[in-house]
Every structure is written in C-alpha cells, then in structure tokens.
Amino acid sequence: MELNSISDFEQVKKGTKILVSDSSPQPPKHHKRKLATWQCNNYTGFFWGAGHSCGRFEVRIAVNPSGFLVNCYNAQGRHTFTVVEAA
C-alpha cells in the first residue's frame, strides 16, 4: 500500500515496515559512491510517527525497530513511502 496523503500516514501503526524510495534506479555495484548515496535514499525502515513540524507535515522513519536513529521527511517531498509489512 503506497502512502500518498496525510490521512494515509495517520492510519499507519508505529513499527510498521516502510519502504522509502526516491524513485531513482539502483546504480551498478562498482559505482561505490553512487550506490552508497542511493542506499541512503532507498531503504526499508520502520514508521515512527507523523505530525506537523515547522509548518509542514513530517514523516519520521526509524532505521531500526528501536528508533535509535530516525530520519524525517516532508510528506509532500520527493520520496515515496510504501508499506511492506504491517506491525
């Protein structure tokens, strides 16, 4: 299920596995720097929450289930969010 609107994000439970993608194709493995950058923008994380911050709707995705490192994204930004596995 792709998350497109604020109401979609409000229905997702904390801990749900989410695929984060910037829709760019994966570079070849021998392009190590490009691949490292791509992997920072395209990964599977855990939904940590969503809410308003600094006048925008922000989505928080944790890199691991404990939420030790959380990345924040503008919900209307260039990334797409897809539910991989429900919590």
Q: Which domain holds residue 26?
A: 2-85
Question: Residue 87's pLDDT band (boundaries 50, 70, 90)?
Answer: low
Q: Which carries the bigger pLDDT value, residue 12 or residue 87?
A: 12
pLDDT tens string 45-68: 999 998 888 878 888 898 888 777
What does the buried/exposed string (b/e) look like for 21-37 if buried means 16 or more CB atoms within 10 Å of the residue's CB? Answer: beeeeeeeeeeeeeeee
The total number of structural domains that make up the chain: 1
